[in-house]
Structure 1
Amino acid sequence: MSMTPPPGWYRDPSYPLVERWWDGTAWTDHRRQPEVPTQPPAPPAASGNGGSGRAKAVALTAAGAVLVASIATGAVLLGKDDGKGEAATKTTPTAPAPATGAGSPSPSASASPSGDPSEVVDELNGITLPLLDGWVRPKYVAEDDMVMTTPGTYDCPGDPGLCRHGRVLSRTVTANDEKSPKILAEQDIEDAADASYDRDLVDSRPYRGITSHQVVKSGQVAVAGRAGYFVRWRVRTGVGPGGYVESLAFPSSVGSESLVIVRFAFDAGPDGPPLADMDRITKGIRPVGDSGTGGGVGSSIGPST
């Protein structure tokens, strides 16, 4: 009689370039990127858009949340459930060991729940963001800087994987001396679009890449009482409806007051979240512990220092 492996991260039998969470009885839809810590990083791969060598203008902190181990593969037959994930296997993995240190999957560290169920807290950048109807705190996502997502996943229209209709991330600019929110937002928007709709963390192309983009909106905005700037693109992709991407830059109200980048990525079409949610979330961003300081598109601009 075969033993059922304990819960843990194992090679995904349907997509072995990533690891997938086995809950002890069935595969879940939670995946992560493997990483080999004992080897030096590989040289950067050539760009998928012709190797333009475009320098990345904004260095952003994004801690990797992946651990790795040797994993023996097993033959697994997968079935589909009601579209919200993948159902239990008909056979289980044959005695692989879970990845080193792999306990239960952890929610994103950037989305620490506060006492208020209608907001999420970004402790690093000293801000809270409103959790609107139709949005949830992130769980079991690869990006540690994700602060909220739309609920559920769907099969990506391009390369194999699971996609989400809406994502909001918050990052700190750490290796750029530029102090202008306008310049930083304008520099970041292309990287934000590529990260959302061109290539994912395992170098797959869930939407077969970006075919075109256009600027649909940009301008000054008050964020948590500080002077910020945003740029919004409409991107079209090789497959699927494409989406809207925004880069919002503003000074943090804590620590060294480094600039913060909040990225929005909303699928276009009827399944995507309302585009107005970008403005609603921006307007509701506040310093931690200060419920009276907000901002929003069209609001008067507060001091930047």
Structure 2
Amino acid sequence: MSSTPPPGWYRDPSYPLTERWWDGTAWTDHRRQPGTPAPPMAPAEPPRRGGSRRARAIALTSAGVVLATAIVAGAVALGRDRGEAAPSTSPPAAGTSAPGSEQPSPSAATDPGVVVDHLNGVTFPVLDGWAAPDSFSEDDAVLITPGTYDCPGDPGLCRHGRVLSRTAAIGEDPSPQALAEGDIEAAAKSQFDRDGVGNRPHGGITSHHVVKTGQVAVAGRAGYFVRWRVITAKGPGGYVQSLAFPSSTGSQAPVIVRFAFDAGPDGPPLSDMDRITKGIRSVGDTATGGGVGSSIGPSH
């Protein structure tokens, strides 16, 4: 007689570099980075996910934990149409994938014209002049411009364009407008002020002004965006945009998409921000990216 494993965090079969909560019967929509401390989850009131999520540059050094006892003989479906297998009662060590759970990386989607963000349940179109990142080292990036160049400020390599996708941390006001307005300054600083090790690849930000703000439909959902023109001490500066909208999957946690384009003739055309936004769709849905209300909102 076989038995299912007890509730707990197990390697996610649909995204093996994260852990996912198994409630003892089926998979829930709650995920975390491996090794993230969290109290046990009551089946009726699982904690909400948030924060920067797994990042695509997930630290693969988290400690593996052997989570309990019995061997699973069969598979348990998550919903009637998911077909995801129940977790093994002896998950592999952190940084490895359970047999049969391998999934294509964001840079290896079945459709080469699409990058899939499995965690947030959306896809991004790969426009001309763009590519999927080759590895998780791009830190949440879903789209990048190919090639690098010597940064105009502190030594290092820069890219002319990046698009990042992450699950938003929910504050007092979870509306898309509040999330986008609260994220734009951090988006500008992370790309054009200081990098993760304290260098200033563009010499730092000297000023900025708002280019556009407004409502926009994203994957059939009501979203909001804020776009800045950033002036830097060195180089041509650039444009940043924070786009917030609710995910169409699971608990519908809000998603933040950050755009960072170099200004000047070498940067991507600014219209690509609008085109990528219109092309975002729910996973498995090819018809929700455009239509009524999908155009970029009013300028300010």
Per the normalisation by structure 2, the TM-score is 0.64
Q: Which amino acid aligns with 1:60?
A: S
Structure 2: runs of 5 or more not aligned: 1-49, 62-94, 96-103
State the secondary structure of the residue aligned to 2:137. Answer: coil
Q: 1:300 to 1:154 in 2, by over 3 A?
A: closer
- Deviation of 1:196 (Å): 0.6
Amino acid at match of 1:138: P
Letter matched to residue 155 of structure 1: D
Q: Is 1:166 aligned with 2:161? A: yes
Partner of 1:212: 207
For 1:259 and 1:187, locate their aligned partners in 2 and report how far apart those are by CA, in whole Å.
13
> How far is 1:112 from its partner?
4.4
Q: Does 1:239 align with 2:234?
A: yes
Output one character per residue of 1:7-34: Cα deviation in whole Å (capped at 9) or x when no partner: xxxxxxxxxxxxxxxxxxxxxxxxxxxx
> Paired residue for 2:258?
263
Superposed, 1:174-253 pairs within 5 Å as 174-253=169-248
Shift of 1:178: 2.7
Among 38, 53, 56, the residue aligned to 1:61: 53
Q: Distance in 2 between matches of 1:218 and 1:182?
A: 9
Structure 1 residues 140 and 299: alpha-carbon distance in aligned structure 2, compared to 1, 3 A threshold: closer
Contact 1:266–1:272 (8 Å) recurs in 2: yes
What amino acid sits opposite 2:152 in the alignment?
P
Deviations 1:220-272 (A, max 9, x none): 00000000000000000010000000000000011110100000000000000
Separation of aligned partners in 1, 2:144 and 2:291: 20
Which of 117, 132, 153 is equivalent to 1:137? 132
Distance 2:240 2:232 in 1: 12
| Percent of pairs with identical residues | 69
Q: Distance in 1 between matches of 2:227 and 2:291?
A: 14
Contact 1:245 1:264 in 2 (8 A): yes
Deviation sequence 1:249-305 (CA, Å, 0-9, x none): 00001111010000000000000000000000000000000001113895379xxxx
Which one-letter code corresponds to 2:197 in the other structure? V
Partner Cα distance (1:118, 1:299) in 2: 20
Number of residue pairs aligned between Structure 1 and Structure 2:
205
| Alpha-carbon shift at residue 208 of structure 1 (Å) | 1.0
1:67 CA drift (Å): 7.0
Match of 1:294 in 2: 289
TM-score, normalization by structure 1: 0.63
In structure 1, distance between residues paired with 2:269 and 2:143: 15
CA distance in 1, matches of 2:289, 2:115: 15
Task: Report SS of the residue matched to 1:171.
Answer: strand
Gaps of 5+ in 1: 1-57, 69-100, 102-108
Task: Please provide the CA RMSD for this pair.
Answer: 2.3
Give 1:279's aligned residue: 274
